[in-house]
Structure 1
């Protein structure tokens, strides 16, 4: 019952070819899942002509734990394995060159962080129909994840797989709005109501009284003391996303 209830992991492995040339490498996805409570199966495919598989039992994982010198409990090791396989440092190393099937061998290499133990899993290349079956299972799992995400409330979708795009878009929009408001504030000028009122009053008085009058100096409020147009206070869209 070791792997029972284990959530499947799907990710992209960065391919590296060693020991030979060949056609440009395609993008590879890997699919880690449990076909039964005592095994883990790993499929790696480019959905074209290269599909690889590894099937590991509990005892083989125990051997891996000892071989990489991982100290700690079995549970600690499995947590480390899953963290490594979900990290940003997962590679597919393709070795040698085969005339008919591309690389002669392949291995999946994962590491949680630099300086920590390296997980290495050797892979076997699949032929049809096993390769088609593996690709089909991965495609159906991806579609299942897509449907589950679409069925979530909009807020949960935003905090799920779309969160990165939303945050990036929000930041760009926030910067654009702030820039437009700043530009608008600089261009706007308050009407000089003091000067305008004095001018209207002077014209009115002049029409009523033509006698010479003593000129009174009207004090104009300095520009720096006049009220200023202030832009709107914007809430950071990241706050809304995080809430």
Structure 2
């Protein structure tokens, strides 16, 4: 059982309040960083980047005890998710206790609740001073920059994809506009009436029965009727019927 596969670095801002409401010390803005330094520990850093830097480091066994004491059922990964969401919730806050003038609060705890009606978590924090505080702030700042860089890179890549998609959409619109223009021009042309086979037959019969064609056929018929039979083919009637000779048939 470990944390590496379940937890990515998480950053956020916390609401801050004094446990002693009568304290007059000013409050600064605090950022938190949840991370897994290794597979067996969960780390939480809280800082105002000034004079107050806090840290909590919990082992897997300590987190299991927290799960039992809080009363959160479910799987191990579900509990870790609940813990992170509780710290990220709007109701999460950093509660400061005691103070020593310029050195700020003497103690602090992180209190979170995923949603109203759900169990609260409370994690005591250890104050870091000197080089420890400086190193914690430096690490948080570096991790925050890496997170920003990753998000910015994702944004750049997404913007490039959007630009490419916009070009494709623009080209498609231009092509569709050209097709639409061609269709409109085609629809404005005079429609040519289609001629069917029956119309062609009727036209052919009409042409054949036209007055010019009829006059031509009548003229040919007249020529055939008035054709003169050759003299040698005529029958000579002089009191006897003549038969054609063999030579005539040849």
- Measured against the shorter chain, the TM-score band is 0.5 to 0.7
TM-score of the aligned structures, taking structure 2 as reference length: 0.59
1:154 Cα deviation (Å)? Answer: 4.3
Instruction: Please give the alpha-carbon distance, in whole angstroms, between the structure 2 residues aligned to 1:106 and 1:30.
Output: 13
Checking the alignment, whether the CA contact within 8 Å between 1:2 and 1:58 is kept in structure 2 is yes
Report what 1:2 is aligned to.
Answer: 2
Report what 1:55 is aligned to.
Answer: 57
- Where 1:110 maps in the other structure, the secondary structure is strand
Report what 1:241 is aligned to.
Answer: none
Match of 2:46 among 44, 56, 59: 44
Report what 1:18 is aligned to.
Answer: 19
Name structure 1 gaps, 5 residues minimum.
158-243
Match of 1:150 among 138, 149, 152: 152
- Where 1:62 maps in the other structure, the secondary structure is helix
Quickly say closer, same or farther: Cα 1:68–1:153, change in 2 above 3 A: closer
Report what 1:190 is aligned to.
Answer: none
Checking the alignment, whether the CA contact within 8 Å between 1:18 and 1:93 is kept in structure 2 is yes
- Where 1:96 maps in the other structure, the secondary structure is strand
- Where 1:89 maps in the other structure, the secondary structure is coil
Higher mean C-alpha deviation, range 62-71 or range 7-16 = 62-71
Report what 1:139 is aligned to.
Answer: 141
Instruction: Please give the alpha-carbon distance, in whole angstroms, between the structure 1 residues aligned to 2:136 and 2:15.
Output: 19
Instruction: Please give the alpha-carbon distance, in whole angstroms, between the structure 2 residues aligned to 1:88 and 1:156.
Output: 29
Deviations 1:166-205 (A, max 9, x none): xxxxxxxxxxxxxxxxxxxxxxxxxxxxxxxxxxxxxxxx
1:100 Cα deviation (Å)? Answer: 5.1
1:87 Cα deviation (Å)? Answer: 1.8
Match of 1:105 among 83, 104, 107: 107
Q: Which runs of 4+ in 1 moved over 6 A?
A: none
1:156 Cα deviation (Å)? Answer: 3.6
**Greater gyration radius:** 2
- Where 2:50 maps in the other structure, the secondary structure is coil
Instruction: Please give the alpha-carbon distance, in whole angstroms, between the structure 2 residues aligned to 1:76 and 1:63.
Output: 15
Instruction: Please give the alpha-carbon distance, in whole angstroms, between the structure 1 residues aligned to 2:129 and 2:155.
Output: 41
Write 1 or 2 for the structure with the bigger share of helix. Answer: 2
Deviations 1:108-133 (A, max 9, x none): 11111011011110001001101011
TM-score of the aligned structures, taking structure 1 as reference length: 0.61
- State the aligned residue count: 158
Report what 2:80 is aligned to.
Answer: 78
Question: What is the root-mean-square deviation of aligned Cα atoms in Å?
Answer: 1.9
Report what 1:118 is aligned to.
Answer: 120
Checking the alignment, whether the CA contact within 8 Å between 1:97 and 1:104 is kept in structure 2 is yes
1:155 Cα deviation (Å)? Answer: 7.2
Name structure 2 gaps, 5 residues minimum.
160-250
Checking the alignment, whether the CA contact within 8 Å between 1:12 and 1:90 is kept in structure 2 is no
Q: How does 1:210-225 map to 2 (within 5 A)?
A: none
1:71 Cα deviation (Å)? Answer: 2.2
